[in-house]
Amino acid sequence: MDAPEVEEEEGRRWDPTTLTAVVVGAGPTGALAAHYLAMRGYKVEVYDKGARPSPGDAASVPLVLTSRGAIAFEELGLDGQRRVGPTATPLRGVWDMVGRRLRPLDSSSAFRRTFVTDRSGLAADVIRAAEQRYPNTVRFHFNTELTRAELKNRVAGARPSTSEPADAADVNASAEIDVPYDLLVGADGLESTVRRILKAKVKDFGVIRPVEETAGYRAVSRLPRPSREPLTGFYTHRPQEYVYDWSAPGKPSVRLYIDIDGSVGGLVSGLRRWDDAAAAAAELQAAYPDSFPEEWAAAVGQQVSSPALGEPRHAAILQCSQFYGPRTVLLGDAAHAVTGASGPMGLGQGPSAAVESVRTLALVLRGAQDDLDKVPEVYSNVRGDAVMAMQMLEFMELTRDSERARRLKFASWWFAWSAFVTQGFRWLAETVGGLLSAVMPKTFLSAPQVLARLEDRRIGYSEVIKMLQGYASPVVALLLGAIFVGLFMAFNRALA
Ligand SMILES: Cc1cc2nc3c(=O)[nH]c(=O)nc-3n(C[C@H](O)[C@H](O)[C@H](O)COP(=O)(O)OP(=O)(O)OC[C@H]3O[C@@H](n4cnc5c(N)ncnc54)[C@H](O)[C@@H]3O)c2cc1C
């Protein structure tokens, strides 16, 4: 079903057609937010410090979107969008390329369907659709960076971010311009400027990165066709059908997929040398001599060692005390990044959560009838619980694998200790759940079965955490009770 051109509601006190939203960032989150806001009638100005996204560009990374994230794209009814949704090929599984085994993924219903695609290609599709549908109300300004925001006066500052002429006609090559807004939307990713402004100007606004992966990673794209297939029938697989995973303890890992144009790309992480093409290629060849094609190792080496790329990126969990400020909201990675460790098969949590935040904002705008004095705080509160539960699960998953845990950098001893406690909690939930589900399989689920329920977009993160707590908490309460009774008896005996 096509989305309405502009949403109409009776009796609005705040009229979106008189309001301007400034969206910072035109990644998947910002592009989607611009589309939703225009659909509600807002005038939308989007600023991105990078170039207009296009499939396979320098900012491309493979994104995995579970049905939780995919629904946002489906709802917009974007006909030209072939990457995520009913006309795209759902992910059928992950090939373990070392053990030559397929780990299938349940894509049996729309509630469980997962897609793998290219970040920039997806953003490009949504931007194009927004420009076509709302030519008079949405404007994208590329190579233009947001540098400041005066939260009281509701004026942001933007200036060209490169020596290239900016797309925006109103930003000349040297000047910074004032951009008035009614709502400021920070969809500017992990290193968000909007978040930095909120941290500097909003009392009690806190940001932490409790844990970061020390192994860096980089995207690769358009790998050449190798002389031998990495897997029998590899080139008969449909685009987006599988993810191909090379990983082993202590070795670099590679995750590839076939994009909709038939090209092969993906992500490489944990290389020892990023600055030397031959060394990187040799490391991959030595790690996976039988399964990783020589031509790909050479191409990956060339791509990841390009001096233009700067430092490899490190995945991190990012937590904010709130996702709002005066007339300002944070969306996507700017608000709550995760590492991608959690979730069924360890896929899709980050980008899905990123676009989920746009949907939450859209629902709150509608529910609060665009009362922009209320929307930011309500959005933040509504989003808060789901994000906290998601990040707890992420933390639990991330520290579970001891090999992976060794490559983590905790922000302080407190987080390292809480990772240890979290593992204890998980162990209890697994043991109790395992016992109960073995004895009464129809009544109880095991912990992995509980976690697998997250594949279904109707199941919330908070529900899953509560189910696991239901297994672990009684045991913790019993243990604490036993300690208390023991101490009490010992005390009594001492007094006697
Ligand atoms: C190099 C890289 C690798 C990644 N790898 C993975 C992965 O393997 N798995 C995974 O699940 N997720 C990965 N992600 C995260 C994933 O890309 C995001 O979850 C997803 O793109 C949605 O994020 P977003 O739109 O919120 O932010 P982003 O996609 O990061 O987009 C933010 C946009 O904001 C713009 N911007 C930033 N600051 C400003 C400013 N001051 N003014 C104007 N514009 C600004 C940027 O140019 C960018 O276009 C990766 C991200 C990056 C950058």
pLDDT of 273 above 70:
yes
Pocket residue to mutate for ligand 1, from 188, 193, 314, most atoms within 8 A of Cβ:
188
Q: How far is the CA of 189 from the centre of ligand 1 (A)?
A: 5
pLDDT of 170 above 60:
no
Partnered with residue 220 across adjacent β-strands are: 266
pLDDT of 102 above 90:
yes
pLDDT of 8 above 70:
no
pLDDT of 307 above 70:
yes
**At 403, is the pLDDT very low, low, confident or very high (cuts 50, 70, 90)?**
confident
Q: How far is the CA of 109 from the centre of ligand 1 (A)?
A: 29
pLDDT of 200 above 50:
yes
pLDDT of 39 above 70:
yes
CB-neighbour burial class of residue 285 (10 A; exposed 0-12, middle 13-18, buried 19+): middle
Kindly give the number of the ligand 1 atom that is closest to the alpha carbon of 190. 30
Q: Which residue has the higher pLDDT, 105 or 4?
A: 105
**At 371, is the pLDDT very low, low, confident or very high (cuts 50, 70, 90)?**
very high
pLDDT of 2 above 50:
no
Q: How far is the CA of 121 from the centre of ligand 1 (A)?
A: 13
* Over residues 87-93, mean pLDDT: 92
Q: Which residue has the higher pLDDT, 448 or 159?
A: 159
* Over residues 253-276, mean pLDDT: 93
Q: CB of 164 within 8 A of CB of 69?
A: no
pLDDT for 278 equals 96
Laid out side by side, the sheet with 242-246 consists of 101-104, 93-96, 242-246, 253-258, 264-269, 217-223
Q: Which residues line ligand 1 (CB under 6 A)?
A: 24-30, 47-50, 61, 63-64, 119, 145-146, 187-189, 193, 219, 267, 313, 332-334, 340, 350-351, 354
pLDDT for 167 equals 55
* Over residues 104-131, mean pLDDT: 92
For 471-485, what is each residue's pLDDT tens digit? 988 888 888 899 999
Number of other residues whose CB lies within 10 A of the CB of residue 204: 6
Pocket residue to mutate for ligand 1, from 83, 118, 119, most atoms within 8 A of Cβ:
119
Give the residue, by CA position, lying nearest to ligand 1 atom 31: 27
Give the residue, by CA position, lying nearest to ligand 1 atom 51: 61
Q: Which residue has the higher pLDDT, 155 or 405?
A: 155
Q: Which residue has the higher pLDDT, 460 or 323?
A: 323
Kindly give the number of the ligand 1 atom that is closest to the alpha carbon of 194. 41
pLDDT for 1 equals 41
**At 409, is the pLDDT very low, low, confident or very high (cuts 50, 70, 90)?**
very high
pLDDT of 151 above 90:
yes
For 139-148, what is each residue's pLDDT tens digit? 999 999 999 9
Q: How far is the CA of 333 from the centre of ligand 1 (A)?
A: 7
pLDDT for 391 equals 87
Give the residue, by CA position, lying nearest to ligand 1 atom 2: 61
pLDDT for 341 equals 62
pLDDT for 402 equals 76
Backbone dihedral angles phi then psi of residue 462, each to the nearest 5 degrees? -65, -35
Q: Which domains does the chain have, with CATH numbers?
A: 16-89+118-212+315-396 (3.50.50.60), 215-309 (no CATH), 412-495 (no CATH)
pLDDT of 104 above 80:
yes
* Range name among 155-164, 180-189, 371-380, 397-406 with the lowest pLDDT average: 397-406
Q: How far is the CA of 190 from the centre of ligand 1 (A)?
A: 7
For 438-460, what is each residue's pLDDT tens digit? 999 989 999 888 888 888 889 98
Average pLDDT, the chain: 89
Q: Which residue has the higher pLDDT, 288 or 449?
A: 288
Establish how many alpha carbons lie within 13 A of residue 285's alpha carbon, considering only the half-sphere containing its beta carbon: 14
Q: Which residue has the higher pLDDT, 84 or 11?
A: 84
* Range name among 20-29, 134-143, 151-160, 213-222 with the lowest pLDDT average: 213-222
* Over residues 176-181, mean pLDDT: 95
